[in-house]
Structure 1
Amino acid sequence: MLELRPNCELCDVDLPPDALNVRICSYECTYCAACADDVLHNVCPTCGGGLAPRPIRPRQAWRHPHISLGLGFHPASQTRKHTRWSRDEIAAMTARLKDVPPQDR
């Protein structure tokens, strides 16, 4: 199950669970759309993979009481994370991979 991390790991902007401007990689590294597009150029600085829109977890359990789903049962993470990579390391990874389609990386 996705953590739904609460912030951009690069600029630290808040990204609530229902935010539409969130991008994640397959390892759940989380970035705002502005950082994903303008700084990272669709390259995760950790794994080198692409960044896709994060799904929205429904607020309520639409199938309740039979199945316990939704943010009420599975809340978003409150643990803020930050990239471990320096801006120079990010720029080097991005420059190397930004012109390679994610499926070919």
Structure 2
Amino acid sequence: MLELRPSCEHCNTALPPESTQAMICSFECTFCAHCATTLLQNICPNCGGGFAVRPVRPLQNWKNDNFLGKYPASAMVKYRPVDLAAHRLLLERLSAIAPEKR
């Protein structure tokens, strides 16, 4: 079950469960679309993987209790700004490799 973390790990922008601006890697590192695509250039600073748009959990119980009311979003903020100098080194190593090949 996705945690649906509440904010961008780098800039701390709010990313509520219904946000279409949340991007995640396969480990659920969570960043806003601006940070993920512009600053981080689709390379997760924590694992080196790529990002995908985080799915939005349904607000209503359409079927089998699979909705936000039963499975709420996480309230735990993981605010850990990216070390941009270290990320530049990671970008140099990985930017020429497609996310699915990393």
If the TM-score is normalised by the length of the shorter chain, which range does it land in? Answer: over 0.9
Q: Give the structure 2 partner of residue 89 of structure 1.
A: 86
Structure 2 runs not aligned, ≥5 long:
none
Identity %: 46
**SS of the counterpart of 1:93?**
helix
1:33 aligned onto 2:33: yes
Moved over 2 A (4+): 82-85
The structure-2 alpha-carbon separation of the partners of 1:82 and 1:91, relative to structure 1 and needing over 3 Å to count, comes to farther
Give the length in aligned residue pairs.
Answer: 102
Q: Could you tell me the TM-score, scaled by structure 2's length? A: 0.93
Q: Which amino acid aligns with 1:73?
A: K
Q: 1:78 aligns with which of 75, 78, 88?
A: 75
Matches within 5 A, 1:1-105: 1-63=1-63, 67-83=64-80, 85-105=82-102
Question: What is the RMSD computed on CA atoms of the aligned residues?
Answer: 1.3
Q: Could you tell me the TM-score, scaled by structure 1's length? A: 0.90
1:23 CA displacement: 0.7
1:86 CA displacement: 1.8
Structure 1 runs not aligned, ≥5 long:
none
